[in-house]
Amino acid sequence: MIAGVWGGPRLGRTTTALLAAAAFGAISLFAGAPGAAAKGTKPPKPSKPAISGLTATPGSVPSSGITTVTAAVSGAETCTLTSNKSVPGLPVSSSCGGESFSQAVEMPNERFEKKPKVFTLKLVAVGQGGKAQASLKVTVINHAYSVIPTTVVGISDAKQVGVGSQHVCAVLSAGSVTCWGSNREGQFFNGQSANEYDHPVETLVTGATQVASGSFFSCASLASGHVECSGYDGSGELGNGEPGVGPHEPVEVQGLTEAIQVAAGLETACALLTSGHVDCWGRGKSGELGNGHSVNASTPVEVLGITNAAQISIGAGGTHACALLVTGHIDCWGANTYGELGDGTTTDRIAPVEVLGISEATQVSAGYAHTCALLFSGHLDCWGGNSGGDLGYGGNADSHVPVEVSGIADATGVATGTVQSCAVLGTGGVDCWGGNRYGQLGNGTTTESALPVEVFGVDEATAVSAGGGQACALLIGGGVECWGSNQEGQLGNGTLR
């Protein structure tokens, strides 16, 4: 008891002091905690860049076409676009701090490639948090085309148009000739050769009344009765007696002084004379000279048995020819693999044979493997190859004799190309049918049609001409509109796409 009494007060005072000191220390540690924590904390790490919605519009473009690459980008400062194959202007870097990326890219010139080429474009976004990447594919197709008519630049006084395989020529009101498209063989009569012209260029021909465009050569009928040709001459199709590498300037076809019309095909040309006779020159292996032989001729030879022709035709790229007679009948000769001579067989003919069942024709047009005729009634008959609906009757089977084109009763003109046909209507409109890979039907699609479809926006046509993958309409005022393939600038609208 004594000890407890003596120690109690002192122990109590000591305990109180220790508790107070501990409390003070705790308060001091608590008060100092925020300062210590702030001093040791690191700033947040920047987020890694992110790319979403990477898109190329369009994803498939013509040769030399433009596509726009866009994406939503976050957390990046710079964006770099590259390609796995050579593309003009790439790689390219730009700021993408604005949370987005947009870059127009002109794809390479691939017009002479056999197949479409696929390019892989890669976008790399770099920021403080690292980098991100994404890729997409863009296809460059090996053709350029227009599925609707486009205006040929600089022509307002054309009198006649001749469409070839990959080039077009027109006779102007003064008798001069202008051409556009491929000139690789010097088929422009201008003393030069170049890959292509996307607009009409002046030639050296004067006094022309009519022009015909073949595969890689051209011929013009002159007011003097002479004929001049230029371009490729491997089979003697220039008619000057010197087959070989053709001159790029016009050369006169030997012996012709009374020509009133000329026609040009694959490597063959023919002239209609004032006498009603027909002379041909060039390739003759399929009988397309009509002279009873199957050999080439570098100067004109007379087609057998024709003395009363009113009009002639050879398809661009074709190896058969036809003549409209003053009687309204039609005679054809040459290749007949698909029944394009219309005599009910598939036998090649080295001399003219009569097309069966036609007696009131007013125009004939020979294409690559088919032929069409305009009748006095305004109806049309076609015969020959029909893989794409080229005959216009609604089916796809070939016909060795004429069949009527469906739905046309007021035609005023007809033209056949490689796999398509077109007709000028009494309204000034144009209907086309057949193959349509390059938009050569002019109806806004690339879908073939075995029945005639309306060419978009043409309502003042006076004539139509068709060739390899394109067609052109001559308008009332002298203007020209073309549609279809533009691989070589043959639409003449100032572009190659």
For the chain, which residues make up each domain, given as ranges?
Answer: 50-141, 145-485
pLDDT at 202: 95
pLDDT at 194: 78
The answer regarding whether domain 50-141 maps to CATH 3.40.50.150 reads no
Q: Is the pLDDT assigned to residue 117 strictly greater than 60?
A: yes
pLDDT at 316: 80
pLDDT at 111: 57
pLDDT at 56: 95
pLDDT at 28: 41
Model confidence pLDDT, tens digit, residues 15-64: 444 334 444 444 343 444 444 445 567 778 888 999 999 999 988 876 67
Question: How many other β-carbons are positioned within 10 Å of the β-carbon of residue 420?
Answer: 33
Percent of the chain residues topping a pLDDT of 70? 89
Report the range of poorest mean pLDDT among 208-212, 243-247, 286-290.
Answer: 243-247
CATH for 145-485 (2.130.10.30, 1.10.3720.10, 2.40.110.10, 3.40.50.2300): 2.130.10.30
Asked whether the domain spanning 145-485 has the same topology as the one spanning 50-141, the reply is no
When comparing pLDDT for 29 and 82, which is higher? Answer: 82
Tell me if 332 sits within 8 A of 381, measured CB to CB.
Answer: no
pLDDT at 45: 84
